[in-house]
Structure 1
Amino acid sequence: MAVEKMLKFVSVGRDMPQKRDAEARRHDFLEIYGDFAKPKAAEQASRCSQCGVPYCQSHCPVHHNIPDWLRLTAEGRLQEAYEIAQAANNFPEFTGRICPQDRLCEGNCVIEQSGHGTVTIGSVERYITDNAWEEGWVKPIRPSQERTESVGIIGAGPAGLACADTLRRAGVQVTVYDRYDRAGGLLTYGIPGFKLEKDVVMRRVDHLSDGGVEFVLNCAVGETLSFDAIRGRHDAVLIATGVYRSREIEAEGSEARGIVRAIDYLTASNKKQFGDEVAEFDSGELDAAGKRVVVIGGGDTAMDCVRTAIRQGAASVKCLYRRDRANMPGSQREVANAEEEGVEFVWLSAPEGFVGDTVEGVQVQRMRLGAPDSTGRRSPEPMGEVVLEGADLVVKALGFEPEALPTLWNTPGLDVTRWGTIRAEFGSGKTSLDGVFAAGDIVRGASLVVWAIRDGREAAAAILQYLSQTVSASSAVAAE
C-alpha cells in the first residue's frame, strides 16, 4: 500500500509553496514562502521515487533519511515523519528554510536528473517540522538520567546549539557562552527574517533553555571571562565561535565613511526587527533608506545584504561580482529572488577604488574569465576598463575569516591552521588541548548551517566518549 502512494513523479508535477508577490515582500521582513497544506505536502512527498541509492540523502551533510520521511508524509504519518527527520537533524525547522537545497539534496534528486523536476524536499521538511510544533510533538528535553559532568560551549550558533541539544538529551549539564545578547549566532543576527523569521529561532532557544541548557549571554571570552576560567568550570569545552572577521578590500579610498561590513549591516537590521535601539542604524549609518546601495560579493551573505537594502527602502541596489552568474558561489534561487525584488546584478565587475571621504561612488574594473582556478571556477582577469558606479552606501560581503583566538584568549597552546581556523581532529573535533573540542565554521571555515549542525552533533558524540573515559579513569585511580 505504501508503494501505491509513492512514485507519483510521472503524473504529478513539481510544485512549491506559494511565493508572496515581489512587490508586497519588498516592504517587510516576513518569510517569502507560504506553508504547504497537508494534502499538498502529501502530494509533493508522493513524487519521491524511493531510490535504492538515495543521492539526496548521501549529499545531505547530516545524512537525513529523506526517502523515509517523504514516504511517511505521503502516507499521512506526520508525527513519525517528524521523528525520523529529528533523529538526524537537531533543527529541521532551520534547514528546511535556509539550506541551499538546490545545491544539496534537491540538486541530486534522481527524478530531477531524468527531467521530471526535483522533489521539493526542503518545503516538505519545513512543513512537517512546523506541524510538529503546532501539534505538540516536539517534546521537552527531559533526560532519563542526569549526569554530574558539565560542558561549556563557547558560541550559541548552530554548531554550539546542536552540541548543547545532543549533550543535554544525554543528561550532561551544559552551559553556553555567547558574545551577543540573544542566542542563535548567525541564525539570529546574520540571516534576515525573510529567510528565517526570528520567532522560529527563539522558539528553539527557549526549548533548549527549558530543557536545562544554561545560557550566559553578553559574554565576550577573553574580555568578560577568560578561556581558562571557562575550562576550570567544566569537564570539557567546545569552541563553536564561528568566523566573524570580515575580509577587507585593499583599494584606494576603502576607509571612507559609508563603506561598511556585511556583518555589521545585517546585525543592525536584525536587531531593529527585534525592536532594539541601534545607534548606528538610527543615525543612518547602517540604514539604506533612500540611498544608492552597492554590495560587493557573490555569496549568500551578499544576497542577504541586497535583499535587506531593498526592504529598507534603498533608492537603488546593485550587486558587484567579479565573475559571471554561472560561476558565483551563492544560491541561484536567492539570486532569482533578489532580481524579482529589484536588485540589479553587475557581473564581471570588481572594485578598484572608492570616491569621496564619505563614499560617493565605486571605481569598477571590468573583468573577463580566464582559466579555471583550484576551485574549478574560471579566474577573473581585469580588462583594463574602469567605470564609476554611484553609491551612498557600500556593503563589503567578501566572506569571513577566523579571529586570532590563541591571541585573543591568551591561549598559545591552542593550535590553529595556516588559515587561522582551529586545528581539530576530523570526526571528533578534538583540539591540541586536553578536553577541548571545536566545531563548525571555526574549524572548517565559513560554511553552511547544516554543516555546523553536523559538526556539533559529531563533537557531542566525541565529548560523551571523552567524559565516559575520564570518569572511568578517575574511578580506577580512586579504587587504587
Structure 2
Amino acid sequence: MTTPMLKFVSVAQQQPEKRTAQNRRADFDEIYEDFKPVKAAEQASRCSQCGVPFCSVHCPLGNNIPDWLMLTANGRLEEAYEVSSATNTFPEICGRICPQDRLCEGNCVIEPGFESVTIGAVERYITDTAFENGWVKPTRPLRERPESVGIVGAGPAGLAAAERLRAVGYQVHVYDRYDRVGGLLVYGIPGFKLEKDIVSRRHRLLEDSGVTFHLGQGVGDAEGEIPFAELRKKHEALLIATGVYKAREIGGPGAGLPGIERALDYLTASNRRSLGDTLPEDAKGLDAAGKNVVVLGGGDTAMDCVRTAIRQGAKSVKCLYRRDKANMPGSAREVKNAEEEGVEFVWLAAPEAFLGDDHVTGVRATRMKLGMADPTGRQSVEPLEGSSFTLDADLVITALGFDPEPLPQLWGQPDLAVSRWGTLKVRQDSFMTTLPGVFAAGDIVRGASLVVWAIRDGRDAAERIHKWIKANASADAVAEQG
C-alpha cells in the first residue's frame, strides 16, 4: 500500500541530528548525523507532490525531487537512487554542500506557513544507503568507442563529464595538476561539510569505470608539464574544466603585510593537514591556533574559513562583511552554524587599512549603510563618515572571490578567446571554444559558482562533445565513400 504523502500538515520539519557546537569545534568531521530510515521516510512523506515542483525548477540539475521523495517515503530506496542518479552524477555530494536554502528547499511550495521538506538530507541518505548496499556500480558502456577525450581538471565539472563520456564508450583521460581527484571538493571545502573519503569513493568508482587519471600533471610549457598542443594531438576532443583559482586581491594601506592570507591558500593548508600531508615551509604558518582572526567576505568560502579557524583553536574569530545579514550571499544555514560555533559577525563594515609594522596586528574598518537598490534589486553600500574602528588581528583571511587564470598566455594559445572577465568564451549551443574540438565547462566559463552548476555544465558539455564527435565521424565516413 502506498504511503500517503502531504504529511507536512501533521509532521514537523526535522533535519538529521546535529552534533553540539562544543563537540564539533574539536574536529573536522561532518556535523550532521545520518538519518535513521524511519525518519528519512517520515520527512520525505512531508512532500506535497505539487503539480509544478518548484524544487525541481530551481535545481540547476532539474532533479526529479518529488519522485525520489515519494519512493523514499515508500521504502523503495534502490529505485529512489536510480531516479536521483539519473540527473545527478554526485547526489551524495550535492546533498552535503548545496545551499538548499537558496535552491530547492528555498523554493518549496509548503514553505509559507510550513517549513520546507528536508530535501538535501534525504538526498544524502538515499545515496549513502545505495553505497552501503552495493547499488552504486561502475559505469559500463554498451560498447567501446575508439575515440579518446581529454579533460583538463578533475573537479566536479570534469568528473561529471568524464562519467557521462565513459557511459557512451569513449576512452577518457583526465589531467590534473593536483595529487588528488576532486579539485575544490578536496582542497577548498573543509571536512566538516564534505569528508574526503566521499570524494575518493567516487574517484575509485570512476577508475573502475575505465577513466584514466593523470594526477600531478600540469598543462603548459614549464618543466614536467604537458604542452596544450600535444594534448590536442592525443585526443579527438578536449574539455577544459580547470575552474577558477586566482584570488581577488585586496588593496589599501598595509595590504601587503605578512599575516594577510588568501582564503584558498588557508583552506588548502588546513585540508592537507587533515589529510596527513607534509606542508611546505611557506604554508606551515597558515594556522589560526591562538590567533585573533578576521575574515573578510560574506560568501560560502568566508564561512568555510571562519569555521575552520574555530576548529584550529583561534583566540577569536570575526567575519567582516560590508552588507547586513539579509544581503549576505552565503548560505543562511552556514551562517547559523558559524554563529553556533562561536564566530562573531561584524555586519555593515568594510576594511579601510591594515595595521602593523612587520606583521599585521589589526584591521581598521568603517561602518557602512545600505543605499539605493541597483537594477538587480541589491542595495548599494555607502560609508558612514567618522565611523572608523579597529579590530585586533594576527591573521587576516581575504575571501573576496576568485577570477580565472590567464589560460591563453599560460598555455601559449592566443586564439583561445576569453571574455572581458577572463573566462573562456564558448558557443552556448555546443560548449565549444574558439579552438575547434576544444570545449569548456564549469567555473572557467561561468565564473566562480556552485558545485551543482559545475556538475550540470560537465554533463551538458559531455553530451555536446559526443554529438560533435559523432558528426565528425559521419562526415569522415561520407568523405571516404566519396
Shared fold, TM over 0.5:
yes
Q: For 1:364-400, what per-residue CA distance to the aligned partner results, in whole angstroms no more than 9, with x for missing partners?
A: 1111111113442211111122111110000010000
1:413 to 391, 412, 415: 415
Whether 2:307 is the aligned partner of 1:307: answer yes
Bigger mean CA deviation after superposition, 262-271 or 469-478: 469-478
Preserved CA contact (<8 Å) 1:427 1:458:
no
Letter in 1 for 2:382: E
Asked if 2 retains the 8 angstrom alpha-carbon contact of 1:167 and 1:464, the reply is yes
Query: How many Å separate the matches in 2 of 1:83 and 1:264?
Result: 38
The question of 1:64 aligning with 2:66 is answered: no
Q: How many residues align?
A: 477
Q: Do 1:281 and 1:287's aligned partners in 2 also have CA atoms closer than 8 Å? A: no
Q: Report whether the alignment pairs 1:169 with 2:167.
A: yes
1:245-283 deviation digits (Å, cap 9, x = unpaired): 001111111111010100100011111111001134773
For 1:391, which of 381, 390, 393 is the aligned residue? Answer: 393
1:205 lines up with 2:178 in the alignment:
no
Q: Which residue in the other structure is 2:192 paired with?
A: 194
SS in 2 for 1:112: coil
Mapped contact 1:355–1:362 kept (Cα < 8 A): yes
Report the counterpart of residue 330 of structure 2 in structure 1: 330
CA contact under 8 A between 2:321 and 2:348: conserved in structure 1? yes
Q: Is the 8 A contact 1:238 1:439 kept in 2?
A: yes
- Distance in 2 separating the partners of 1:276 and 1:149: 37
Inter-partner Cα distance in structure 2 for 1:35 and 1:279 = 36
Residue of structure 2 equivalent to 1:263: 264
Counterpart Cα distance in 2 of 1:261 and 1:267: 10
1:167 is aligned with what amino acid? L
CA–CA separation in structure 1 for the residues paired with 2:155 and 2:374: 32
Residue 250 of structure 1 corresponds to which residue in structure 2?
251
Residue by residue, what CA displacement relative to the aligned partner does 1:186-234 show, whole Å, maximum 9, x if unpaired?
1010100000000000000111011111111112211311111111110
Contact 2:269 2:283 in 1 (8 A): no
Residue segments in structure 2 that go unaligned for 5+ positions in a row: none
Contact 2:180 2:215 in 1 (8 A): yes
Q: Is the 8 A contact 1:269 1:281 kept in 2?
A: no
Change beyond 3 A, Cα 1:153–1:24: same
| Partner residue in 1 for 2:80 | 81
C-alpha separation in 2, matches of 1:326 and 1:107: 14
**Contact 1:151–1:237 (Cα < 8 Å) also in 2:** yes
Q: Taking structure 1 as reference, are residues 51 and 427 closer, same or farther at Cα in structure 2, changes over 3 Å only? A: farther
User: What is the aligned-residue RMSD (CA, Å)?
Assistant: 1.0
Matched, 1:425 2:427: yes
- Within 1, Cα distance between the matches of 2:19 and 2:403? 35
> Counterpart in 1 of 2:118?
120
> 1:109 — aligned with what?
108
CA displacement, residues 286-308 of structure 1 (integer Å, 9 cap, x when unaligned): 01111000000000000000000
CA drift at 1:363:
1.0
**Alignment-mate amino acid for residue 197 of structure 1:** E
Q: Deviations over 1:331-362 (max 9, x none)?
A: 01000000000000001111111111311111
> For residues 298 and 17 of structure 1, what CA distance do their matches in structure 2 show?
26
Unaligned runs of 5+ in 1: none
Equivalent residue, structure 2, for 1:44: 43
What TM-score, normalized by structure 1, do the two folds share? 0.98
CA distance in 2, matches of 1:343, 1:428: 45
Contact 1:145 1:171 in 2 (8 A): yes
Q: Is the 8 A contact 2:187 2:267 kept in 1?
A: yes
Identify if the C-alpha distance between structure 1 residues 190 and 139 changes in structure 2 by more than 3 Å, giving closer, same or farther.
same
SS in 2 for 1:336: helix
Q: Which residue of 1 aligns with 2:355?
A: 355
Cα distance in structure 2, aligned partners of 1:418 and 1:374: 21
Which digits, 9 at most, give the CA deviation of each residue in 1:420-466, with x for residues without a partner? Answer: 11111225311111111110001111000000000000000000001
Distance 1:194 1:374 in 2: 37
Deviations 1:11-44 (A, max 9, x none): 1111110000000000100000011111111000
2:378 pairs with 1:377? yes
Within a 5 Å distance, the mapping from 1:16-35 to structure 2 comes to 16-35=15-34
Output the CA distance in 2 between the equivalents of 1:107 and 1:58: 12
Rounded Cα–Cα distance in structure 2 between residues aligned with 1:281 and 1:417? 33
State the AA in 2 paired with 1:362: V
Distance 1:96 1:323 in 2: 28
- TM-score normalized by the length of structure 2: 0.98
What's the counterpart of residue 464 of structure 1? 466
Give the Cα–Cα distance (whole angstroms) in 2 for the partners of residues 7 and 250 of structure 1: 53
Query: Is the CA contact 1:427–1:459 (under 8 Å) kept in the aligned structure 2?
Result: no
Structure 1 pair 281/126, CA: closer, same or farther in 2 (3 Å)? farther
Question: In structure 1, which of residues 400, 403, 406 is the aligned counterpart of residue 402 of structure 2?
Answer: 400
SS in 1 for 2:345: strand
Mapped partners of 1:408, 1:309: distance in 2: 34
SS of 1:69's equivalent in the other structure is helix
Instruction: Summarize the Cα distance change of 1:80–1:99 in structure 2 as closer, same or farther, 3 Å threshold.
Output: same
Contact 1:322 1:367 in 2 (8 A): yes
Please give the secondary structure, in 1, of the residue aligned with 2:367: strand
Structure 2 counterpart of 1:274: 275
Q: What CA deviation, in whole Å up to 9, does each residue of 1:146-205 have, x standing for no partner?
A: 100110001110000000010011111101111111010110101000000000000001
Match of 2:214? 216
User: Which sits farther off after the overlay, 364-373 or 374-383?
Assistant: 374-383
Cross-structure match for 2:288 = 288
- Paired residues of 1:414 and 1:433 also in contact (CA < 8 A): yes
| 1:97–1:123 CA contact under 8 A, matched in 2 | yes
Distance in 2 between residues matched to 1:298 and 1:317, nearest whole Å = 14
Partner SS, residue 57 of structure 1 = helix
Give the Cα–Cα distance (whole angstroms) in 2 for the partners of residues 268 and 475 of structure 1.
Answer: 52
Aligned twin of 2:319: 319
